[in-house]
Amino acid sequence: MTQAAEPARTVILTVDDDPGVSRAVARDLRRHYGAGYRIVRAESGESALEALRELKLRGDLVAVILADYRMPQMNGIEFLEQALNVYPGARRVLLTAYADTDAAIDAINVVDLDHYLLKPWDPPEEKLYPVVDDLLSAWRSSDYRPVPATKVVGHRWSARSSQVREFLARNQVPYRWYSSDEPEGRRLLEAAGADGQRLPLVVTPECTVLIEPEAADLAAHVGLATTPAADFYDLVVIGGGPAGLGAAVYGASEGLRTVLVERSATGGQAGQSSRIENYLGFPDGVSGAQLTERARRQAGRFGAEILTAREVTGLEVNGPARVVRFSDGSSVAAHSVILATGVSYRQLMAPGCDDLTGRGVYYGSSLTEAASCQGHDVYIVGGANSAGQAAMYLSRGAKSVTLLVRGESLTVSMSYYLIQQIEEAPNISVRTRTVVESAQGEEHLERLALRDVDTGATELVDAQWMFVFIGAAPLTDWLDGTVLRDDRGFILAGPDLTPDGRPPAEWPLDRPPYHLETNIPGVFVAGDARAQSAKRVASAVGEGAMAVMLVHRYLEQS
């Protein structure tokens, strides 16, 4: 029986490098599903990914993806792994020969494979259509529904345009980018009555026009929650990185009325990572965006509220309540608070970097810029895991990637598995004992002056792209005078508060602080913002869960 038609002409995509097989799959699918679905055919993983990205930009839906396992350059598993980033809700099928069934079984864990189909599948009425019918039924019962895309018009080298694109991408908001000097961009500017001098221009699916929007205004107009639903909670989690998301999941799942407050986008630094390969349970790695989106949906499913683009500026004690104040003057109160504010990348102090930030100089991996680096020389400043992960990701399309490292080698600060990958990558080079003396350019980055730390010799190199990962600074200045911190700004908690075994001088309770508890009872810290923390995704998630356990203990005794 033919499936009912989808009003939006939802896509079923098939990819196989054998033209004959590719046409046969598409023929069989069109015969049974053509009345209700659009069948898209590709003959390589790269062309299929390009098609998926175009569909995503248009706001089209993809329900099922069928990929052949044995394809050159990019096999079916590798393709489905990348397709997962574009359409995480699409159901995934691997077409495989009998000899490759072991690979298909492995793919179940790697890419959450929904089914593997042995070739040939004749007759399709028995071997193909029942499988696809079940997958379409499962897809329709999921929460992936059409989301009209937001349109962004900006200038290629506009820092604010880059910030808006990054904000939308990290918050999983579908958008389409138009350059202000292209015909469609000019048409949108004219339709909106904008002169093009103030960019970016944002047009929401409801046709609301925003010019140079601030994050809070943009969030409110693209469907992100920015206002708490209540005035009082059991738990307020400040920060949406791995520690904060972990705390929100465990807090909400254990019955605490929980709200998570994030100033920019969930995921923190980990959410910007192109690939995390040492996180438990993902033997083939997972992107920060994938991990973040799963955690965010998981927290929401348990009932946690997630507020975006809300900047916290103060924390007060009001009897048994802990009051969190926002930059707009409003506030929310709770029995307990978990500080999971994380860290930000330190700014590179070399002359020219401030002026060129967002115009060739970027902090973090800035995955939204990766496509523009195709065929270019890219420089990455830093020698820790985040720099290594960005180098591996950008090397896929860049002409060359150069890691600039102040130290003598990568071994002090980078995981061994990443060092091995970098050594094996033909277009990645590492320059040790090298620092950026200055960044130069008019409209955008054009050159870098590099200095050898040992000899003092300076070299000028052509460069349009520089990504900076030079250590972490805790986002805790707003806690000054309230929560105790060390001389670098990291939050002190538990045993670090009581090195001599005695509670802090102003500690009001008879018991000593719990392990992750700050000098304020009921206020806990988790993740990278805590002094002496491990600075790893797994430990941050674990601390978020542990902090919730201690919150329960605190509430039971209050």
Q: Which of 89, 111, 140 is the last residue of a domain?
A: 140
pLDDT tens-digit map of 10-27: 999 999 998 888 899 999
d(CA 112, CA 6): 25
Task: For residue 165, report the phi and psi dihedrals to the nearest 5 degrees.
Answer: -60, -40
Mean pLDDT comparison of 71-80, 151-160, 269-278, 420-429, highest-scoring range: 420-429
Element housing 438 (H / E):
strand 434-440
**What's the confidence (pLDDT) of residue 143?**
64
How far is the C-alpha of 520 from the C-alpha of 427, rounded, in Å?
A: 51
Output the pLDDT for position 526.
98
Q: Is 145 within a domain?
A: no
In a domain, 110, yes or no: yes
Task: Over range 426-440, report the average pLDDT.
Answer: 97
The stretch 432-445 carries a mean pLDDT of 96
Determine how many CB atoms are found less than 10 A away from the CB of residue 78: 18
Strands (E), 213-359: 232-238, 258-262, 305-308, 312-318, 321-326, 331-339, 343-345
pLDDT digits (tens, 9 = 90+) for 167-219: 998 898 888 889 999 888 888 888 788 888 899 999 888 878 999 999 999 99
pLDDT band for 6, please (50, 70, 90 cuts). Answer: very low
Residue keyed to tokens 């937001």: 150
Query: Based on the domain organization, do 466 and 477 belong to the same domain?
Result: no
Flag whether pLDDT at 234 surpasses 60: yes
Mark whether 287 and 307 lie in a shared domain: yes
Looking at residue 538, its pLDDT comes to: 94
Residues 6 or more apart from 399 whose CB is under 8 A from it? 375, 376, 377, 427
Residues 372 and 456 in one domain: yes
Of residues 21 and 327, the one with the higher pLDDT is 327
| Contacts of 431 by beta carbon, 8 Å cutoff, 6+ apart | 402, 403, 404, 405, 450
pLDDT surpasses 70 at 366: no
Residue 368 lies in a domain: yes
Residue 142 pLDDT greater than 80, yes or no: no
Residues 305 and 239 both lie in one domain: yes
> What pTM, to 2 d.p., does this model score?
0.73
Res 376: pLDDT? 95
| Domain match, 331 and 477 both | yes
- Given a cut of 80, is residue 151 above it in pLDDT? yes
The answer as to whether 336 is a domain residue is yes
Q: Any idea which of 35-44, 102-111, 320-329, 341-350 has the lowest mean pLDDT?
A: 102-111
Which pLDDT band, with edges at 50, 70 and 90, does 439 fall under? very high
Q: What is the CATH number of the domain that holds 441?
A: 3.50.50.60
Residue 101 binned pLDDT confidence (cut-offs 50, 70, 90) = low
18 and 131 in a single domain? The answer is yes
pLDDT score of 58: 65
Residues 426 and 444 in one domain: yes
Last residue of a domain, one of 94, 111, 140: 140
Distance, CA of 316 to CA of 324 (rounded, Å): 7
Indicate whether 6 belongs to any domain.
no
- Exposed/middle/buried for residue 84 (C-beta within 10 Å: 0-12, 13-18, 19+): buried
Query: Residue 26, SS3?
Result: helix
339 and 301 in a common domain: yes
Determine the pLDDT at residue 208.
87
pLDDT of residue 81: 84
Q: Is the pLDDT of residue 135 over 60?
A: yes
Residue 265 and residue 171 in contact, taking contact as beta carbons nearer than 8 Å: yes
Instruction: Name the band, by pLDDT with cuts 50, 70 and 90, for residue 238.
Output: very high
Kindly tell me if the per-residue pLDDT of 2 is higher than 50: no
**Average pLDDT of the chain to the nearest whole number:** 89
On whether residue 74 sits in a domain, the answer given is: yes
What mean pLDDT do residues 101-114 have? 63
Residues 463 and 477 in one domain: no
> How many domains does the chain contain in total?
4
59/90 same-domain check? yes
Q: Which domain holds residue 406?
A: 353-470
Length in residues, the chain: 558
Q: Are 113 and 124 in a shared domain?
A: yes
pLDDT at 3 over 60: no
In this prediction, residue 1 carries a pLDDT of: 41
56 and 88 co-located in one domain: yes
One-letter identity of residue 477: D
The pLDDT value recorded for residue 505 is 76
